């Protein structure tokens, strides 16, 4: 029987419970009932988005597909809205044996394995097709395996579009337009370094604080994919398509859970995950189009006349720094760039 506990109690009890190796409702239930020659797995999957977000809809369809194809031997219960904590919390829980799966940003994974930071490097991808080729290919598969010995692994990826700047009062056409502006970024050293290279000032705040901060003039803008306009169109005048990064979401899985499954069950998980990724490319595009149309109705001006070569040139210092100080990350930069040839 699954037991849903509050986030605070969940996190407080995590250390002691994980040490004991038992947590009601999570991976402890893998001790499962026999079903022929395969065990029944009742898995938990966490993410931080709402039930009406394209991510949750896609993950729900994935869970249904897995259950059907496994004849009910793999059942996935999804906890949205960061019910079980932040992305960092979720990865920690997976490592402790208290959670089976989570959807996290690749940028978050950089806190656990340096090489994942490659996907946050500005302009590491030439365009969307280059991005798709890398994420559907060998490079992504190698990234997935890097943390197997840390208790978690990548199963598949989900498109999260390109991140660009949006502002309250000033259109951004070239890096010089960012001078003197306070721009909200993720809590990521790569994002902060990018803002420095481009001439703006990075300020790290939570996503939930962006609306009020832009409304009150505490910040001049932010950087995110276009779906952020679903929440911030009322305080945004310009969305400027500089497309500085394409940072995918990654579906993680506990290595312990994965290893406990039969070969047949692992193939089902892999096949269903691959299908979800393909379907989600279309779903994400439709989601972006809906948000952009609604934002334009609210008066947001879409700026496509952006000097991309100037932005790319301004970010070259990041590449120089990676080559000198982060050789493991830079090795992946080179692999990604070679994949564009």
pLDDT for position 187: 84
Residue 117's pLDDT band (cuts 50, 70, 90): very high
Least confident of 29-43, 143-157, 274-288: 29-43
- Whether 153 and 35 map to the same domain: the answer is yes
* Mean pLDDT in residue range 116-124: 97
Residue 40 token pair: 């029944």
Measure the CA–CA gap between 124 and 110, rounded to whole angstroms. 15
- Whether 233 and 255 map to the same domain: the answer is no
pLDDT for position 8: 40
Kindly tell me if the per-residue pLDDT of 63 is higher than 90.
yes
- Whether 241 and 322 map to the same domain: the answer is yes
Kindly tell me if the per-residue pLDDT of 237 is higher than 70.
yes
- Whether 22 and 154 map to the same domain: the answer is yes
pLDDT for position 16: 36
- Whether 328 and 211 map to the same domain: the answer is yes
Give the structural domain span for 78. Answer: 7-108+147-158+248-287
Handedness of CA 165, 171, 176, 180 (dihedral sign): negative
Measure the CA–CA gap between 87 and 155, rounded to whole angstroms. 16
- Does residue 129 fall inside a structural domain? no
User: End-to-end alpha-carbon separation of the chain, Å?
Assistant: 53
Is residue 335 within 8 A of residue 139, CB to CB? The reply is yes
Q: Based on the structure, what is the number of domains in the chain?
A: 2
pLDDT for position 188: 86
Kindly tell me if the per-residue pLDDT of 26 is higher than 80.
no
Using left for φ > 0, alpha for ψ between -120 and 50, and beta otherwise, residue 72 falls in: left
pLDDT for position 20: 35
Q: Give me the phi and psi of 115, to 5 degrees please.
A: -60, -25
Residue 199 token pair: 């001439």
Measure the CA–CA gap between 313 and 316, rounded to whole angstroms. 5
Using left for φ > 0, alpha for ψ between -120 and 50, and beta otherwise, residue 95 falls in: alpha
Measure the CA–CA gap between 21 and 306, rounded to whole angstroms. 53
pLDDT for position 36: 52
* 313-324 pLDDT per residue, tens: 999 999 999 999
- Whether 260 and 330 map to the same domain: the answer is no
Measure the CA–CA gap between 157 and 137, rounded to whole angstroms. 11
Residue 27's pLDDT band (cuts 50, 70, 90): very low
Measure the CA–CA gap between 44 and 99, rounded to whole angstroms. 6
Q: How many beta carbons lie within 10 A of that of residue 130, not counting itself?
A: 16
Report the CATH number at residue 85. Answer: 3.40.190.170
* Mean of per-residue pLDDT scores for the chain: 90
H or E element, residue 325: helix 316-325
- Whether 272 and 153 map to the same domain: the answer is yes
- Does residue 142 fall inside a structural domain? no
* Mean pLDDT in residue range 229-238: 97
Q: How many beta carbons lie within 10 A of that of residue 124, not counting itself?
A: 23
Which residues lie below 8 Å from residue 92, measured CB to CB, with a gap of 6+?
A: 14
pLDDT for position 37: 76
Measure the CA–CA gap between 250 and 10, rounded to whole angstroms. 23
Q: Measure Cα distances from 115 to 88, 152, 170, 224, 274 in Å.
A: 17, 15, 35, 22, 23
- Whether 317 and 303 map to the same domain: the answer is yes
Kindly tell me if the per-residue pLDDT of 13 is higher than 70.
no
Q: 114 exposed, middle or buried (CB, 10 Å; 0-12, 13-18, 19+)?
A: middle
Using a CB cutoff of 8 Å and minimum separation of 24, what contacts does 281-285 make?
Answer: 281/132, 281/159, 283/54, 283/57, 283/58, 284/54, 284/158, 284/159, 284/160, 284/161
- Whether 185 and 282 map to the same domain: the answer is no
Q: What is the value of pTM for the model shown?
A: 0.87
């Amino acid at each position: 029987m699954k037991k849903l506990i509050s986030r605070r109690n969940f996190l407080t009890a995590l250390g002691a419970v994980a040490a004991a190796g038992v947590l009601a409702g999570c991976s402890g239930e893998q001790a499962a009932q026999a079903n022929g020659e395969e065990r029944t797995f009742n898995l938990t999957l966490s993410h931080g988005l709402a039930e009406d977000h394209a991510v949750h809809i896609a993950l729900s369809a994935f869970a249904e597909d897995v259950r059907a194809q496994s004849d009910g031997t793999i059942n996935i219960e999804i906890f949205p809205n960061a019910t079980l904590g932040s992305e960092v919390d979720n990865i920690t829980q997976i490592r402790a044996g208290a959670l089976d799966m989570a959807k996290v940003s690749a940028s978050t994974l950089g806190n656990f394995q340096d090489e994942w930071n490659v996907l946050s490097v500005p302009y590491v991808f030439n365009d969307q097709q280059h991005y798709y080729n890398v994420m559907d290919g060998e490079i992504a598969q190698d990234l997935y395996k890097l943390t197997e010995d840390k208790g978690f692994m990548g199963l598949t990826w989900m498109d999260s579009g390109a991140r660009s700047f949006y502002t309250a009062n000033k259109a951004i056409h070239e890096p010089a337009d960012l001078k003197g502006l306070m721009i909200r970024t993720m809590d990521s050293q790569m994002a902060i370094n990018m803002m420095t290279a481009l001439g703006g000032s990075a300020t790290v705040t939570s996503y939930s604080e962006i609306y009020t901060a832009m409304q009150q003039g505490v910040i001049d803008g932010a950087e995110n994919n276009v779906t952020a306009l679903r929440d911030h169109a009322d305080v945004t005048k310009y969305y400027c398509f500089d497309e500085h990064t394409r940072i995918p979401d990654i579906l993680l899985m506990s290595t312990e859970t994965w290893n406990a499954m039969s070969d047949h069950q692992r193939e089902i998980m892999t096949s269903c995950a691959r299908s979800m990724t393909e379907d989600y490319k279309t779903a994400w595009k439709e989601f972006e189009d809906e948000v952009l149309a609604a934002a334009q109705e609210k008066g947001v001006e879409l700026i496509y006349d952006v000097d991309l070569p100037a932005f790319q040139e301004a970010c070259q210092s990041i590449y120089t720094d990676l080559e000198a100080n982060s050789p493991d990350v830079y090795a992946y930069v080179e692999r990604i760039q070679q994949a564009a040839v």
